[in-house]
């Protein structure tokens, strides 16, 4: 199928469900106040010892979902995904037709079903079909499960499918839950911190896990909705560094090339980037890799932050969730604080934010990296005038 690379693609409405709150406004409010969702938990079902994590209160989730009046049985993750897409369906449901695609991003999906011995609800395609049916999406959903770049890669795939003429609009939903399976896996790597994670900080001790769901509506039509927070997807790139199953390239090669690809497609220089929402897991190798890549790109002076200190690492949801937050801050001409960062802890300079910055933000770079050498970068530009 022939693609139309000159066709513009726009991000419209966005929403999220996190341990900080239900809805984007509540999350922004808490982040602006420097409030983290990471707390010390005790749960014998998840760990024999107390641990730090960011988890949604199950009672609150159940109550909020009951308010939707949706009938049927849905897993925690399915409830989170449907709640995150609720406001988007309200405003854009009329576009949920044969010209609208659905992309579901998740690394582990209903992994808790396996822990309960119920394999029948585990498969990712089943989860995607169930969510799609409930939302009234006519087309077969696409599932993206490419480690921790999944959520951000969904935006890249949506843009490419619109360019290819497959769809006019795409609904993106990403989500993952805090599970014993994933938590024990990261513990086996000795990658879990015994305190809230501190990206790029000298005393960082590893990651903190979290759970969340996020949604986004992407369209070829700039004026499909008269919102004031429209952003154009200028360029994107996804490069695998092929370094190691769990360790990134020490020179940041995959991330470096991903950003270069995004810049080339956007037709811009690195100096035009106003802020960077980075991956920032607070592991020694990831943070150092990012420092290497961003310095090679001459982006070391651009305000940069990680949102992992607020939500923990939300796996397949991280890229989309963090994009939702990044674009909302940009719409307010501000850059959030990278919470937990106090003293510089990587070998090369980075302009990591210690406080919320108030400044003009028009062009945003969002990056993500994950196991298996995966890397993705997407560049967004604020739409100034819908009528132009």
Q: Of 329, 318, 319, give the one whose Cα is nearest residue 238.
A: 319
pLDDT 10s digits, 58-89:
999 999 999 999 999 999 999 999 999 999 99
Q: Quick one: 28 and 114 in the same domain?
A: yes
What percent of the chain is predicted at pLDDT more than 90?
Answer: 88
The answer as to whether 387 is a domain residue is no
Tokens of 47: 């760990």
3-class secondary-structure state, position 186: helix
Residue 11 has pLDDT above 70, yes or no: yes
Last residue of a domain, one of 219, 247, 275: 219
The range of the structural domain enclosing residue 305 comes to 232-382
Q: Which residue carries 């609720």 as its tokens?
A: 86
Q: Quick one: 56 and 157 in the same domain?
A: yes
Give the separation between CA 303 and CA 337, rounded to whole angstroms.
Answer: 10
Q: Quick one: 210 and 266 in the same domain?
A: no
Q: Quick one: 214 and 240 in the same domain?
A: no
DSSP state of 140: P
- Residue 276, domain CATH: 3.40.47.10
Give the separation between CA 267 and CA 217, rounded to whole angstroms.
Answer: 24
Q: Of 45, 44, 18, 39, give the one whose Cα is nearest residue 29.
A: 18
Q: Quick one: 25 and 108 in the same domain?
A: yes
Residue 264 has pLDDT above 60, yes or no: yes
Measure the N-to-C terminal CA separation of the chain; round to a whole number of Å: 30
Q: Quick one: 209 and 349 in the same domain?
A: no
Contact 259, 298 (CB under 8 A): no
How many domains are there within the chain? 2
3-class secondary-structure state, position 256: helix
Q: What sign results for the dihedral spanned by CA atoms 180, 182, 185, 191?
A: negative
Burial 215-244 (b: 16+ CB within 10 A, else e): bbbbbbebebbeeebbbbbbbbbbbbbebe
pLDDT 10s digits, 100-152:
999 999 999 999 998 777 887 889 999 999 999 999 999 999 999 999 999 99
Q: Quick one: 332 and 255 in the same domain?
A: yes
pLDDT band at 388 (very low <50, low <70, confident <90, very high): very low
Give the separation between CA 205 and CA 306, rounded to whole angstroms.
Answer: 15
On average, the pLDDT of the chain sits at 94
The answer as to whether 5 is a domain residue is no
**What is the reported pTM?**
0.96
Q: Quick one: 350 and 301 in the same domain?
A: yes
pLDDT band at 227 (very low <50, low <70, confident <90, very high): low
Three-state SS letters, the chain: CCCCCCCCCEEEEEEEEECCEECHHHHHHHHHCCCCCCEEECCCCCCCCCEEEECCCHHHHHHHHHCCCCCCCCCHHHHHHHHHCHHHHHHHHHHCCCCEEEEEECCCCCHHHHHCCCHHHCCHHHHHHHHHHHHCCCCCCEEECCHHHHHHHHHHHHHHHHHCCCCCEEEEEEEECCCHHHHHHHHHCCCECCCCCCCCECCCCCECEECEEEEEEEECCCCCCCCCCCEEEEEEEECCCCCCCCCCCCCCHHHHHHHHHHHHHHCCCHHHCCEEECCCCCCHHHHHHHHHHHHHCCCCCCEEECCHHHHCECHHHHHHHHHHHHHHHHHCCEECCCCCCCCECCCCCCEECCCCEECCCCEEEEEEEEHHHEEEEEEEEECCCCCC
The answer as to whether 224 is a domain residue is no
Last residue of a domain, one of 219, 241, 273: 219
pLDDT 10s digits, 81-98:
999 999 999 999 999 999
Helices and strands in the chain: count of H runs, count of E runs: 12, 17
Q: Is 117 left (phi over 0), alpha (psi -120 to 50) or beta?
A: left
Last residue of a domain, one of 198, 219, 240: 219
The answer as to whether 3 is a domain residue is no
pLDDT 10s digits, 275-318:
999 999 999 999 999 999 999 999 999 999 999 999 999 999 99
């Amino acid at each position: 199928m022939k693609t139309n690379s000159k066709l513009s693609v726009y991000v419209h409405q966005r929403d999220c469900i996190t341990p900080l709150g239900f809805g984007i406004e509540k999350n922004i409010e808490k982040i602006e106040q420097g409030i983290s969702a990471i707390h010390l938990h005790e749960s014998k079902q998840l760990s024999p010892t107390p641990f730090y994590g960011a988890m949604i209160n199950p009672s609150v989730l159940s109550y909020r979902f009951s308010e939707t009046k949706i009938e049927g049985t849905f897993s925690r993750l399915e409830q989170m995904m449907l709640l995150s897409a609720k406001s988007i369906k309200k405003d854009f449901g009329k576009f949920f037709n044969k010209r609208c695609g659905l992309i579901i991003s998740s690394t582990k999906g209903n992994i808790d079903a396996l822990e309960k011995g119920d394999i029948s609800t585990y498969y990712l395609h089943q989860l995607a079909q169930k969510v799609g049916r409930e939302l009234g999406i006519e087309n077969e959903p696409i599932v993206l499960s490419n480690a921790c770049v999944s959520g951000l890669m969904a935006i890249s795939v949506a843009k490419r499918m619109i360019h290819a003429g497959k769809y006019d609009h795409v609904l993106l939903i990403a989500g993952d839950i805090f599970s014993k399976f994933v938590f024990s896996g990261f513990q086996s790597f000795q990658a879990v911190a015994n305190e809230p994670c501190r990206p790029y900080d000298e005393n960082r001790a590893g990651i903190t896990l979290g759970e969340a769901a996020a949604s986004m509506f992407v369209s070829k039509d700039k004026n499909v909705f008269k919102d004031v927070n429209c952003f154009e997807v200028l360029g994107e790139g996804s490069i695998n560094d092929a370094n190691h199953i769990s360790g990134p390239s020490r020179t940041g090669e995959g991330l470096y090339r991903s950003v270069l690809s995004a810049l080339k497609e956007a037709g811009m220089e690195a100096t035009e980037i106003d802020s960077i929402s980075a991956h920032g897991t607070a592991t020694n190798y990831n943070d150092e890799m990012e420092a290497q890549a961003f310095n090679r790109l001459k982006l070391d002076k651009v305000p940069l932050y990680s949102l992992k200190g607020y939500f923990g690492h939300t796996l397949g949801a991280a890229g989309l969730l963090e994009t939702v937050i990044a674009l909302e801050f940009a719409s307010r001409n501000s850059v959030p604080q990278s919470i937990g960062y106090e003293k510089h802890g990587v070998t090369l300079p980075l302009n990591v934010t210690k406080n919320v910055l108030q400044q003009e933000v028009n062009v945003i770079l969002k990056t993500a990296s994950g196991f298996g050498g995966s890397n993705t970068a997407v560049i967004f530009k604020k739409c100034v005038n819908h009528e132009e």
